[in-house]
Structure 1
Amino acid sequence: MAPLLSVSDLRVGFGRDPRQNEIVKGVTFDLEAGETLAIVGESGSGKSVTALSINRLVDFGGGRIIDGSIRLKRADGNILDLAQAAEPVLEKIRGAEIGMIFQEPMTSLNPVLSIGTQIEESFRLHRGLTGRQATAAAKDALDRVRIPDAARRLKYAPNQLSGGMLQRVMIATALACNPRLLIADEPTTALDVTVQAQIMALLGQLKHETGMAMIFITHDIGLVAGIADKVMVMQAGQAVEQGRLDEILDRPQHPYTRHLLGAVPHFESGRATRSDFHREPSKAKSLALAVEGLTVRFKVSGSLFNRSPGSVHAVENVGFDLMPGETLAIVGESGSGKSTTARAILGLVHPTRGSFSTSSGKAADAANPGVQMVFQNPYASLNPRLRVDSILAEPVIAAGGRINAETLERMKALLMRVGLPENSLERYPHQFSGGQRQRLCIARALMLNPSVMVLDEAVSALDVSVQAKVLELLIDLQREYGLAYLFVSHDMAVVERIAHRIAVLYAGQIVEIGDASSVLSNPQHSYTRRLISAVPSIDRRNQHFELDTRQVPSLVRPPGFEPPEAQWRTFGPDHRARAEA
């Protein structure tokens, strides 16, 4: 009996001479109905090109299938070779028999069309529904992916929904016509750990309800353990190893598979935290950063006839301190206020009230060279038109300095220190990989010899092995220069590796703070426990994720609202949590 999908010796190339620019080199695999195949590998391994080739979307990106076959068993039992199929035939298959979820929902959805209009398109194209019938089907699709108040949200624009909600919309669109095969290309990479768990739960339930097969593309092997039946590992365009889930995870044969597994940050409930720094209250005067009563509120605009309903209380009365050589991790899901906190400290967001100071006694803002920031996306935070020497010169010029021989020598020394060659000064950002670009961002932040570095999801966009190397670099730099890190992240396994202390933010407020080992091994607030329980692990095989439809409460408060004073409970010398009602 033929499998649902059979890919044989697939070869894909790009450019004018595809055979000279092969990206996928002889990939072969089979997928049965109801099975989940995880394709894992680092950036550039060819996993996304393989997926895009199955429904021939690679044709629209300058790619071409050079050789091989992609045989799909259709609903009527006939076998169709998608590699040879004409475009009119493929148009009927895409969406109807093969659904696809892309990595970044904000770039996959049209920003000027409502959510409902975009979901209805599938029903119009493949089922011939129009008007109220299409709208009703779109509402049912949102209900299916457990989006509350679906009828009202159909009218929303994409920018009115959170990242997790947008990814659910993408899933609803992909599953609108009950495809027999779903391709999910890094569908949870940009999501918080709790939202990620919800998406995995949703995909698991929908797969069980519909019996569809799934190809799940990811670089997170911990996530693979919870959903896959089979795993295919790709490197440099080739499938270097494939087999059943337990065989790959427990008895990997290829060195690259073992390398990937070794690079995965395993969450160990606080047992793997750093022990190279101890706070000494007697040295409180030498704080690298002190934040007191930080509050950030954004006024909500009213309509012509109605006054403003109030303000968004994005950050509410947040306070903490940071010592030289110490890392404080701020964790929480999207909308919790962690990035707003970081940006307010740097003066990139205007705080409503609160005070900040650094070891120099100056305010911690963008004008203070003692505080520098490394942003999440190294592709977006480097000017593509500037050479590296100009990029590294930017903070010096902004601080009123001059570019002289001494500055150039510092550039060369910092490039060497972050593991980049000296000739990098004459190159452009596009000539570097993602990990190298983040190293450039770190070098740029170090140009002014700061005492505090704010790292806003600085490793979340990187592959696991690259991520591990960047984390090692950050730890080495901290020890060498005595840097204090404010490390903003949603990845608890990464936080466990780098943090000395942890502050957990929920709905704009700190709900738990203290020693990293104590917070992770003995979490006291219910929200901290929920974050930790959602962490994926290669030890949790075929994990059943509980679908949780709870949302972060609305942060819009009426004019004049002031929250009650927080009540705290202490659980050790450096561990306290907010009392819950």
Structure 2
Amino acid sequence: MTLLSVEDLRVGFGRTGRETEVVHGVSFDVAAGETLAIVGESGSGKSVTAMAVNRLIDYGGGRILGGRAIYDGRIDVAAATEAEMQRLRGREIGMIFQEPMTALNPVLKVGTQIGEIFRKQHGMSGRAVRQASVRALDRVRIPDAARRLDQAPHQMSGGMLQRVMIAMALAGEPRLLIADEPTTALDVTIQAQIMALLAELQRETGTGLIFITHDIGLVAGLADRVLVMQGGKAVESGPIDRVLDRPSHDYTRHLLNAVPHFRAGQAVRTDGVRDGRAPALDVRDLAVRFPVGGGFLRRTRGEVHAVDGVSFDLVPGETLGIVGESGSGKSTTARAILNLVQPSAGAIDTEGRTAVQMVFQNPNASLNPRMDVRALLAEPVIAAGQRVDDAVVGRMRALLARVDLPDDLDRFPHEFSGGQRQRLCIARALMLNPRVLVLDEAVSALDVSVQAKVLDLLVDLQREFGLAYLFVSHDMAVVERIAHRIAVLYAGRIVEMGAARAVLSDPRHPYTRKLISAVPSIERRRIDYALDTEEVPSLLRPVGFQTPAQVWRQIGPDHRVASEQTA
């Protein structure tokens, strides 16, 4: 049964009668229980198409200019009234948004926002709402679910917030679910669990799924059919096997060629040599703990051991990849090194505050939209107490040229593409001649072709300036491409570490093997994702709790694994 039939859909932005059309005559069908993947790079129109299907485009200055979108054979979404759409949204047509920080209310607790769905759509009240909310977070593998309900969005990591968004969408039990890049911020194991949840929902309720992504490998394991978009048009569509194995359009072939392929350690870099040089960064027994209050007078009743006894070093010209699921402590470790999070214990040895700089995941949030390139690049110089003289301006121009950006200091961030904005962030991080760059999911929000160019740029800059990189990522194919060594974090602790080839080709810790086995690939079609019922370990400990020291087993010259009892 056809659940949604879209015919010649056209969408535009701007004043009525003077709209700029951005989606040009797109057509597709989605049947009950079927998964349609819509793929394409940024600006292709895939997200705008999805937002038009449930008329959320109306709230962003856009409107449907033509065509039809027939839901369940009875309602033309394109012509429906707002009252009709209010009845459809959530219960009939659910949505998982790409940016959880903008989709969640920042002043309401997570439990309040999830509970609203059970109250309004399922008629629950009182204790039943909280119990249902805890189960919803448990389903998406969030540890300490009951405690998380009482947190505000800013107290959770990006990956956990994405899981909250997914839990909220699934709680509504919609007949049609639109998922817009729902796993972009998630590691492969959590990604696999989300896929399993969606598959379970489809089996139980016959839910139709529109899955929007730029990850072709993920599409291969999930979709029944695929629609490829470029420049607001559908340039190719068909069954998944036909499109992936025999693409007919040049743009589809371009996307497939740009996909980073994971090769189990066979594609690692071989140019890094640990030859006894002094470390550019030395981290010893790093611990970060967050107090948890409760009870009378909100006294501290426990501590979250977000990072617990992490040690590693980095030599000039080397890249250490840190991998692990969201909530494992990757980003907290990165931020603690720059003192953006206060360490609770341990030692971090660098050559001063300006020796380490950071490139964040989202360039849109990293760059002040009201500042031009000149002011953005001057920020770190001014913060370091230095004058912005002719020499500094000369360095600005030299770095812009080095990262392949126009030599125009008067432009603003909105005048650049996503990939260009991330290059601008890299140029800014290099303004103070750092020895170490901390890259926190620095390419995860980029399209695959842009991602490849930024990775090539990072490798070139490393060779030219002798930079050491701490590269935090959940994408194993990307880590394989750029890292010389790898550290695997699980529940706040490193459980396996060593040369990239050794760790990826011969993983010894069960969690590392789970990570690698979950990596999506174009060759793996229609994967039967299975829910993992293993309990997620809690990081909440009593005040004063001392974690036992880890016991390590040496596997090779530069490869060691922690005993499972101490993980």
Three-state SS of the structure 1 residue aligned to 2:498 is strand
The letter of the residue matching 2:375 is S
Distance in 2 between the 1:475 and 1:541 partners? Answer: 32
Report the counterpart of residue 287 of structure 1 in structure 2.
Answer: 279
Q: Structure 1 unaligned segments of length 5 or more: list them.
A: none
Which 10-residue stretch deviates more, 12-21 or 106-115? 106-115
Whether the 8 Å CA contact 2:4–2:30 is kept in 1: the answer is: yes
Residue 446 to residue 310, structure 1, CA distance change in 2 (3 Å)? same
Report the counterpart of residue 179 of structure 1 in structure 2.
Answer: 174
Distance in 2 between the 1:167 and 1:275 partners? Answer: 35
Report the counterpart of residue 327 of structure 2 in structure 1.
Answer: 335
Question: Which residue of the other structure, out of 136, 141, 144, is the alignment partner of 1:142?
Answer: 136
Q: CA deviation at 1:578?
A: 0.8
Report the counterpart of residue 343 of structure 2 in structure 1.
Answer: 351
In the alignment, structure 1 residue 320 sits paired with structure 2 residue 304:
no
Which 10-residue stretch deviates more, 93-102 or 439-448? 93-102
The letter of the residue matching 1:404 is D
Residue 179 to residue 460, structure 1, CA distance change in 2 (3 Å)? same
Q: Structure 2 unaligned segments of length 5 or more: list them.
A: none
Could you list the per-position Cα deviations for residues 305-347 of structure 1 after superposition, in whole angstroms to 9, with x for gaps in the alignment?
5753343322222221211111111111122222222222222
Report the counterpart of residue 526 of structure 1 in structure 2.
Answer: 510
Question: Which residue of the other structure, out of 235, 239, 247, is the alignment partner of 2:234?
Answer: 239
- Percent of aligned positions with the same letter in both sequences? 65
Report the counterpart of residue 447 of structure 2 in structure 1.
Answer: 463
Distance in 2 between the 1:306 and 1:241 partners? Answer: 58
Report the counterpart of residue 229 of structure 1 in structure 2.
Answer: 224
Three-state SS of the structure 1 residue aligned to 2:365 is coil
Question: Which residue of the other structure, out of 254, 257, 267, is the alignment partner of 1:259?
Answer: 254
Q: CA deviation at 1:152?
A: 4.8
Q: CA deviation at 1:122?
A: 4.7
Report the counterpart of residue 308 of structure 1 in structure 2.
Answer: 300
Residue 522 to residue 442, structure 1, CA distance change in 2 (3 Å)? same
Whether the 8 Å CA contact 2:140–2:193 is kept in 1: the answer is: no
The letter of the residue matching 1:410 is R
Report the counterpart of residue 375 of structure 1 in structure 2.
Answer: 360
In the alignment, structure 1 residue 562 sits paired with structure 2 residue 535:
no
Alignment of 1:57-456 (within 5 A): 57-74=56-73, 79-113=74-108, 115=110, 117-119=112-114, 121-122=116-117, 129=123, 131=125, 135=129, 138=132, 142=136, 145=139, 152=146, 156-159=150-153, 166-176=161-171, 178-280=173-275, 283-284=276-277, 286-301=278-293, 303-304=295-296, 307-358=299-350, 362-363=351-352, 367=353, 369-423=354-408, 425-456=409-440
Q: CA deviation at 1:466?
A: 1.1
Residue 497 to residue 150, structure 1, CA distance change in 2 (3 Å)? closer
In the alignment, structure 1 residue 508 sits paired with structure 2 residue 503:
no
Q: CA deviation at 1:256?
A: 1.1
The letter of the residue matching 2:412 is Y
Could you list the per-position Cα deviations for residues 453-483 of structure 1 after superposition, in whole angstroms to 9, with x for gaps in the alignment?
1111111121111111110100011111111
Residue 277 to residue 97, structure 1, CA distance change in 2 (3 Å)? same
Q: CA deviation at 1:485?
A: 0.8
Could you list the per-position Cα deviations for residues 18-49 of structure 1 after superposition, in whole angstroms to 9, with x for gaps in the alignment?
65411101101122222110001111111111
Report the counterpart of residue 41 of structure 1 in structure 2.
Answer: 40
Whether the 8 Å CA contact 1:115–1:153 is kept in 2: the answer is: no
Distance in 2 between the 1:107 and 1:327 partners? Answer: 32
Distance in 2 between the 1:328 and 1:140 partners? Answer: 36
Distance in 1 between the 2:305 and 2:37 partners? Answer: 41
Q: CA deviation at 1:408?
A: 1.3
Q: CA deviation at 1:488?
A: 1.1
Whether the 8 Å CA contact 2:283–2:348 is kept in 1: the answer is: yes
Distance in 2 between the 1:13 and 1:473 partners? Answer: 36
Q: CA deviation at 1:169?
A: 4.6
Whether the 8 Å CA contact 1:194–1:333 is kept in 2: the answer is: yes
Whether the 8 Å CA contact 2:137–2:164 is kept in 1: the answer is: no
Three-state SS of the structure 1 residue aligned to 2:371 is coil
Residue 140 to residue 207, structure 1, CA distance change in 2 (3 Å)? farther
TM-score by length of 2: 0.92
Whether the 8 Å CA contact 2:484–2:499 is kept in 1: the answer is: yes
Q: CA deviation at 1:92?
A: 2.0
Residue 405 to residue 65, structure 1, CA distance change in 2 (3 Å)? same
Report the counterpart of residue 459 of structure 2 in structure 1.
Answer: 475
Distance in 2 between the 1:104 and 1:383 partners? Answer: 18
Distance in 2 between the 1:294 and 1:146 partners? Answer: 29
Distance in 1 between the 2:145 and 2:363 partners? Answer: 38
TM-score by length of 1: 0.90
Distance in 2 between the 1:296 and 1:529 partners? Answer: 26
Distance in 1 between the 2:252 and 2:436 partners? Answer: 37
Residue 21 to residue 318, structure 1, CA distance change in 2 (3 Å)? same
Distance in 2 between the 1:336 and 1:147 partners? Answer: 13
Could you list the per-position Cα deviations for residues 132-186 of structure 1 after superposition, in whole angstroms to 9, with x for gaps in the alignment?
6983995597389467899957964553766566545544543455432211111
Could you list the per-position Cα deviations for residues 347-367 of structure 1 after superposition, in whole angstroms to 9, with x for gaps in the alignment?
222323322334xxx35xxx2
Residue 442 to residue 132, structure 1, CA distance change in 2 (3 Å)? closer
Three-state SS of the structure 1 residue aligned to 2:306 is strand
Q: CA deviation at 1:448?
A: 1.5
Which 10-residue stretch deviates more, 183-192 or 103-112? 103-112
Whether the 8 Å CA contact 1:297–1:315 is kept in 2: the answer is: yes
Paired residues in the alignment total 564
Residue 442 to residue 199, structure 1, CA distance change in 2 (3 Å)? same
Residue 44 to residue 268, structure 1, CA distance change in 2 (3 Å)? same
Report the counterpart of residue 4 of structure 1 in structure 2.
Answer: 3
Distance in 2 between the 1:487 and 1:288 partners? Answer: 15
Report the counterpart of residue 475 of structure 2 in structure 1.
Answer: 491
Distance in 2 between the 1:132 and 1:297 partners? Answer: 33
